[in-house]
């Protein structure tokens, strides 16, 4: 048979099948779809409220958990999540917001806690870190419940638990860290004091030989050299004055001696009354009188004694200056050696001081965290608080209705197929020809009598009644099955979550 003839025959068979079984198909479809529609319409609505919590990495770097980096941060988030999901905390929330009343009616608080753990969702948002490590930068926290406002309140309470739990952890860690750092600071302080004492003693022992005193020593040495040159110049001047005094004294002594020697020669030749003798005696007496009364002649000995004293003082000053210059020169020669020794001492002191400063900074930060009443480290920040959802999260009624439509069509098709399997009558000439080998000569149309019409009417009424009863029963069963069936909604929500994931 050509392909076009086969398509025409198939279409004709389907049309004939629809003409015979349309009421059965429509009845089954309406009953099944009505049951599904009643079930979907009466299922309780499950609402999900979501809050976004930001994990501040900059505050993490400033807090105590920076020692272990992103892994410690992730561990902190997971630890707080486990604390929040503990039975004690969840039981408080259940009692506070009166959750899972049906489960608790039988005294099964454990079942309510288990159900709440399933209704809480924690979804971290991570970013890649160094060396392939991932770090949590934010996470969404959600809770699903039957009352939208309560769902938002529970979600916000869970988000606040993160902040409070982190505050408690930071406070506890800060106290422990404060005590540990206090114990570490004590030996460091003792070591730092001992090193400072050794440096002070070394500086006292080598006073004047320290590198920072080199400029002062050089300045003092230059000043001493200048004083030494000045002292030498003063000595030369004093020696010159002494020589002039001695020369003057020599001249005066030479003239008087000549006159006395001449007087002695005249006395050997003449008497004392000789005019030349008398005149020479008078001259010598006058010269002696002049020397005793003249200030210059009389003060030469005193000037000479004073100049000799000044020269003696200048020479003693020269000795002192030379000794001081030698001492400062020796100090300057020892500056490099003393500087190396002092550098070795100060290097160890600087290292200890850096360790002390680092420990002190950590101690002050830990102490500040342990004494702050609010205790908030700023690690967690609620970015978006939960709000009462306007639309339910589950069940997806449009999707369920579409599935009910497909199911109703499938059940109607199965009913028609089953009815056709149990029907042994022939409906077309082709069916008869296929079944019997006797040739078919003619086709007589069916003639309906009044009795046939009555019986057909009665069967239609009965079918309508049965269909109506089935419809009412299906709607009642759907309502009974769907009304308040929270377990079914949880199962549907779980299945939808897996399919979307």
pLDDT in tens, 474-493: 888 888 887 777 778 778 77
- pLDDT exceeds 80 at position 348: yes
Record the tokens describing residue 196, joined without a space: 């400072």
DSSP string, 93-143: HHHHHT--HHHHHTT-HHHHHHHHHHHEEEEEEEEE-GGG-EEEEEEEEEE
Output the CATH code of domain 211-336.
1.10.287
Segment 267-295 mean pLDDT? 66
Tokens 């009910």 found at = 404
Segment 208-231 mean pLDDT? 78
Query: In the 8-state DSSP scheme, what is residue 64?
Result: G
Q: pLDDT tens, 107-129? A: 678 888 888 888 888 888 766 55
Distance set, CA 425 to CA 2, 126, 293, 325, 438 (Å):
28, 70, 188, 145, 17
The Cα–Cα gap between 174 and 367 comes to 7
- pTM comes to 0.54
- Residue ranges covered by each domain of the chain: 15-45+395-500, 47-184+363-384, 211-336
Does CATH number 3.30.1890 belong to domain 47-184+363-384?
yes
Nearest Cα neighbor of 484 from 16, 44, 28, 9 is: 44
The Cα–Cα gap between 36 and 395 comes to 13
Q: pLDDT tens, 181-202? A: 888 888 988 888 888 888 888 8
Tokens 């050696």 found at = 337
């Amino acid at each position: 048979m050509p392909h076009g003839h086969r398509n025409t025959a198939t279409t004709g068979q389907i049309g004939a099948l629809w003409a015979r079984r349309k009421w059965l198909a429509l009845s089954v479809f309406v009953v099944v779809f009505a049951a599904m529609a009643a079930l979907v319409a009466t299922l309780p609505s499950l609402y999900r409220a979501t809050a976004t919590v930001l994990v501040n990495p900059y505050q993490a770097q400033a807090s105590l958990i920076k020692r272990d980096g992103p892994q410690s941060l992730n561990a902190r988030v997971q630890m707080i999540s486990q604390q929040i999901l503990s039975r004690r905390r969840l039981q408080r929330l259940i009692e506070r917001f009166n959750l899972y009343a049906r489960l608790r009616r039988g005294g099964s608080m454990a079942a309510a806690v288990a159900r709440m753990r399933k209704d809480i969702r924690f979804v971290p948002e991570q970013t890649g870190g160094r060396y392939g490590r991932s770090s949590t930068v934010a996470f969404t926290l959600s809770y699903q419940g039957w009352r939208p406002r309560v769902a938002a309140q529970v979600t916000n309470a869970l988000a606040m638990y993160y902040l409070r739990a982190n505050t408690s952890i930071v406070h506890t860690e800060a106290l422990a860290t404060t005590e540990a750092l206090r114990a570490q600071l004590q030996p460091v302080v003792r070591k730092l004091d001992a090193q400072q004492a050794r440096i002070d003693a070394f500086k006292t022992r080598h006073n004047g030989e320290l590198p920072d005193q080199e400029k002062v020593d050089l300045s003092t040495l230059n000043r001493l050299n200048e004083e030494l040159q000045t002292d030498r110049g003063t000595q030369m001047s004093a020696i010159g004055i002494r020589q002039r005094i001695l020369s003057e004294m020599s001249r005066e002594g030479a003239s008087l001696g000549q006159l006395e020697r001449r007087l002695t020669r005249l006395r050997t030749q003449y008497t004392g009354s000789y005019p030349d003798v008398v005149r020479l005696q008078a001259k010598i007496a006058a010269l002696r009188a002049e020397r005793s009364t003249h200030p210059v002649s009389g003060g030469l000995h005193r000037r000479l004694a004073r100049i000799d004293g000044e020269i003696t003082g200048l020479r003693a000053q020269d000795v002192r200056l030379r000794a001081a210059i030698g001492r400062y020169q020796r100090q300057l020669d020892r500056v490099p050696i003393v500087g190396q020794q002092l550098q070795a001492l100060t290097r160890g002191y600087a290292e200890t001081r850096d360790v002390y400063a680092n420990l002190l900074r950590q101690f002050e930060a830990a102490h500040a965290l342990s004494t702050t009443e609010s205790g908030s480290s700023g690690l967690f920040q609620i970015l978006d608080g939960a709000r009462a959802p306007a639309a339910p999260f589950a069940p997806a009624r449009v999707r369920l209705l579409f599935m009910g439509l497909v199911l109703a069509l499938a059940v109607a098709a199965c009913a028609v197929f089953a009815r056709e399997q149990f029907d042994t009558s022939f409906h077309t000439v082709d069916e008869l020809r296929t079944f019997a080998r006797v040739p078919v000569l003619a086709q007589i149309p069916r003639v309906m009598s009044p009795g046939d019409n009555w019986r057909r009417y009665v069967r239609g009424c009965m079918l309508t009644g049965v269909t109506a009863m089935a419809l009412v029963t299906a709607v009642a069963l759907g309502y009974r099955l769907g009304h308040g069936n929270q377990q079914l909604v949880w199962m549907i929500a779980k299945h939808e979550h897996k399919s979307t994931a």
